A and B are shown apart, each in its own frame.
Chain A
Amino acid sequence: MASLDDLAPGTTATVEELRCEEPDAVRLMELGFIPGVAVSCQRAVPLGDLAVYQVEGSQIALRRETAARILLSETPERGGDERA
């Protein structure tokens, strides 16, 4: 299954599952990474391994190892729909 760190800049996919410890998963969901919601990768941050993701109206920078815990429901593609 693809995870968020596989997402190339400019592409969008849908969050499927968060594979991390409960408190971290809660915080990721509070920031918008909720199963069923569309997320896109905007760009890599220079120096280091952060990337900026857009989820709903927020921009959030995550480290690669954190993004790898967010599994996506389909192979990355342009567009993507939103539940709700």
Chain B
Amino acid sequence: MPSAAPAPSGVSGPKGSGRRVVAICGAPNVGKSTLFNRLTGLHQKVANYPGITVEKRIGSLDLPAGQQVDLVDLPGIVGLHPRSEDERISMNVLRGASGALPKPSAAILLLDSTNLRAQLRLVPEILGFGIPTLVVLNMADDLAARGGSIDTEAVARQVGAPVALVSARQGTGMDKIARFLEGTLDPPPPVRLPVLNNIPAERLWAGGVARDAGYRPPEPSLWGRRLDSVFLHPVAGPLIFLVVVIAVFQSIFTLAAPLMDAVDAAVAGSGGWLGAVLPDSILKGLLLDGIWAGVGSVVIFLPQILILFLFIGVLEDSGYLARAAAIADRSMRAVGLEGRSFIPLLSAYACAVPAIMAARTIESQRDRLATIFIAPLTTCSARLPVYALLIAAFVPERPLVGPFLGTRAALLLGLYAAGFVAACGTAWVLKSSVLRSRPAPFMLQLPPYRWPTLRSLSLRLYDRSRIFLRRAGTVIMATTIVLWFLASVPYSNGEPPEIGDSVAGSLGRAIEPLVEPLGLNWKIGIGLITSLAAREVIVGTLGTIYGMEGDEDSPALQEALRSELTFGGAVALLLFFAFAMQCMSTVAIVRRETGGWKWPIAQFAYMLALAYLAGFVAYRMLG
């Protein structure tokens, strides 16, 4: 299925019941998302996973006159010749060929008023789609502050479309956009525009329009260059890059810890309260031991995920991430990829799903496939609860390097490194075999530096929380309920069975011969089955199986594991989780993004083989 939300009922094109689709388009980094957020606020019906800016986002807007408009925030384009998947999405929507959306009944073309001579070229290209278009010149505040000016009415007369000068960040000039959306803004008479597909001629025309509209470009921004001279400094640049990457990882652990403790306490507290007030029944067991413990053990990770996305949001919105991608280009090229793959792979440390979507910005289809293929090997946050439980159970905490690095942290770092090395090695193998490609020219636009706004950052985090909690409330809750049910049947003499006699137990015994070479028993086998839905589910599952609260801090659960597994078996289990693709959301997103089952099946089989082999070797060596 295409990535868009199912078109809301009523969207049937311009002749429909008064609900219209309006597309926001323009070059990258001209403030399309800022304008979109400004216009729709929290009324966004974000389709599936919004990623960063590589997803169509749809938001509804109520106009004073009572009409409703569905705004679509399209990925940036630089012309009519798309090279990457996200650019193709924009083109398809504008052509009315996206499948999920009707052809927009109007478009807002956003241009950067501080770089107008270059950007006006997009006006005839977008007007060529035959959609009524409002040309919006954004960054009016920046233009004025740096001494530039433009006569918008003169531009409108020359392009034959209405023109507004706005600042989406400050919210100035919005009234004209509202009038356009209401349909009460009269366009100027149409004019003859340059022939398309001749970029030099279009550029010449754009220069003429700017000159005749008295365009005074702003003075170049000096502090942008000063920042570049620091962030791209031959010595300081790579050092800052390293510090940023380390800070991102450090924050996942240190900054998130107190917040996670708070969520943990809230879940445990409310569970205890529920246990006290509810009458004893089978349903109570399901609610407390099944749903509350299972979902609760996952919700605890919300702070970590939000902190990681906050970091990535600040890096992206400020313009630094593009510089980081430029610096990373060489290292990425060592494994056959390019600098642009760095951004998805960084966000894969939070979650592979948005990372796989962010790979849409990669122009080379083969590089994009390789990036999608290796993204689930990077250590996502869903592995953390499993790592935390097993490490706490099997590794005594001892200082290794003074007070800085203990045995537990070292093992955790080792697991991160294992995922990283596997990802790099896999990329290298793919890029030197089935996905070998001629090196494409690397062209990366560096956006101007800007302060990230609180508004945009909080909207990102709001989106992420909604997606994460929806997942906890659906996939994870469903798995937990099914497992609880399978562990509670069949009844004999009116009593629920021992776990070994239950349906879940029989399933576990059935796969025991398969997991035995890794030093694992049938109980862990059940956990491996449920963790196919999502990795973190195994913590709650083991809790259910051992009949105790499923929580990675639970000493009783750690004790039970120590009596079931050898040290080698624990390491085998850790490595299995490091490499296996136990995540239905990831399988689903890879199928959607690659347009078929070939890649997700190959990826699943490869990662399973890698995981099994690593677990087998570890158990053989460590016993």
A58 smallest CB distance to B (angstroms): 6
Report A-chain residues with C-beta under 8 Å of the C-beta of B199. Answer: 26, 29-30, 34
Q: Which residue of A lies closest to B441 (CB)?
A: A66
Closest to A66 in B: B441
Given contacts A46-B234, A52-B232, contact A84 B208 (CB under 8 A): yes
B118 touching A43, Cβ below 8 Å = no
Evaluate contact between B441 and A84: CB separation under 8 angstroms: no
A24 to B442, CA, bound (A): 10
A1 contacts chain B at the CB level, 8 A cutoff = no
Encoded as 1 (CB less than 8 Å from any B CB) or 0, chain A from 24 to 61 comes to 10111111101111000011111111101001111111
Is A74 in contact with chain B by the CB < 8 A criterion?
no
**B192 at the A/B interface (Cβ < 8 Å)?**
no
User: Residue A45 contacts which of B203, B207, B327, B448 (CB distance < 8 angstroms)?
Assistant: B327
Residues A34 and B443 in contact, CB atoms below 8 Å apart: no
* B220-277 residues at the A interface, CB under 8 angstroms: 225, 228-229, 232-235, 237-238
Nearest chain A CB to B92 CB, angstrom units: 18
> Do B200 and A36 have beta carbons less than 8 Å apart?
yes
Q: Among the listed B79, B217, B329, B442, which residue makes an inter-chain contact with A57, where contact means beta carbons less than 8 Å apart?
A: B217
Question: Quick one: given A47-B330, A57-B217, are A27 and B112 in contact (CB under 8 Å)?
Answer: no
Given contacts A62-B443, A66-B441, contact A84 B207 (CB under 8 A): yes
**B residues within 8 A CB of A45?**
232, 237, 326-327, 329
Q: Are B441 and A46 in contact (CB under 8 A)?
A: no
Docked complex Cα distance between A58 and B78 (Å): 12
Report yes or no: A43 in contact with B232, Cβ–Cβ below 8 A.
yes
Q: Which of B235, B238, B330, B445 contacts A60 (CB 8 A)?
A: B445
Identity of the chain B residue whose Cβ is nearest the Cβ of A60 in the assembled complex = B445
- Checking A23, A31, A56, A59 against B78 with a beta-carbon cut-off of 8 angstroms, the contacting residue is A31
Q: B77: nearest residue on chain A (CB-CB)?
A: A30
The answer to the question of B598 belonging to the interface, with a C-beta cut-off of 8 Å to chain A, is: no
Chain B residues with CB below 8 A from A23, complex form = 81, 83
- Complex Cα distance A59/B118, Å? 12
Chain A min CB distance to B224 (Å) = 8
* Known pairs A23-B83, A47-B327, A84-B203; A56 contacts B115 (CB<8 A): yes
Residue B444 interfacial (CB < 8 Å): yes
Verify A57–B83 contact, CB threshold 8 A: no
Q: How large is the interface on B (under 10, 10 to 19, 20 to 34, 35 or more residues)?
A: 35 or more
B327 near A58 with CB under 8 A, answer no
Which residues of the partner chain B approach A84 to less than 8 Å between Cβ atoms? 117, 203-204, 206-208, 211
Q: Within 8 Å of chain A (Cβ to Cβ): is B37?
A: no
Rounded to whole Å, the gap between the CB of B414 and the closest CB of chain A is 26
Which listed residue, B208, B238, B443, B448, touches A28 by the CB 8 Å rule?
B443
Whether B441 pairs with A65 at a CB distance below 8 angstroms is yes
In the complex, what residues of A have CB within 8 A of residue B83's CB? 23, 27
A61 touching B200 by the CB < 8 A rule?
no
Which residues on the B side are within 8 Å of A58 (C-beta)?
A: 115, 118, 445
Q: How many residues does chain A have at the interface if contact means C-beta atoms less than 8 Å apart?
A: 39
Q: Decide: B238 and A46 in contact? CB cutoff 8 A.
A: yes
The reply to whether B444 and A60 form a contact with Cβ atoms under 8 Å apart is yes
Which of A34, A48, A69 is within 8 Å of B329, CB to CB? A48
Nearest residue (CB) in A for B122 is: A30
Residue B114 CB within 8 A of the other chain: yes
Given contacts A37-B203, A52-B232, contact A31 B327 (CB under 8 A): no
Please measure, in the bound complex, the distance between the C-alpha atom of A36 and the C-alpha atom of B151, giving whole angstroms. 26
Q: Which residues, 161 to 187 on B, are CB-close (under 8 Å) to A?
A: none
What separation, in Å, do the CA atoms of A61 and B206 have in the docked complex?
Answer: 24
List the B side residues contacting A60 at CB < 8 Å: 443-446
Q: Once the chains are docked, how many angstroms separate the CA of A44 from the CA of B238?
A: 13
- Chain B residues in 8 Å Cβ range of A43: 228-229, 232
B333 within 8 A of A: yes
Task: With A30-B78, A37-B203, A84-B206 as known contacts, state yes or no: A63 contacts B442, CB within 8 Å.
Answer: yes
B17 within 8 A of A: no
A-side contacts of B333, CB under 8 Å: 48
List the 3 closest pairs (A to B, CB-CB), nearest first: A84-B207, A57-B115, A48-B330
A-B residue pairs in contact (CB < 8 Å), sample of 6? A28-B443, A42-B225, A46-B233, A57-B118, A61-B444, A83-B204
Q: What would 20 more interface pairs be, CB under 8 Å, given A42-B225, A46-B233? A: A26-B79, A26-B199, A30-B78, A31-B78, A31-B445, A34-B200, A42-B228, A44-B234, A46-B234, A48-B327, A52-B232, A58-B445, A59-B228, A60-B444, A61-B444, A62-B442, A63-B441, A69-B441, A83-B204, A84-B207
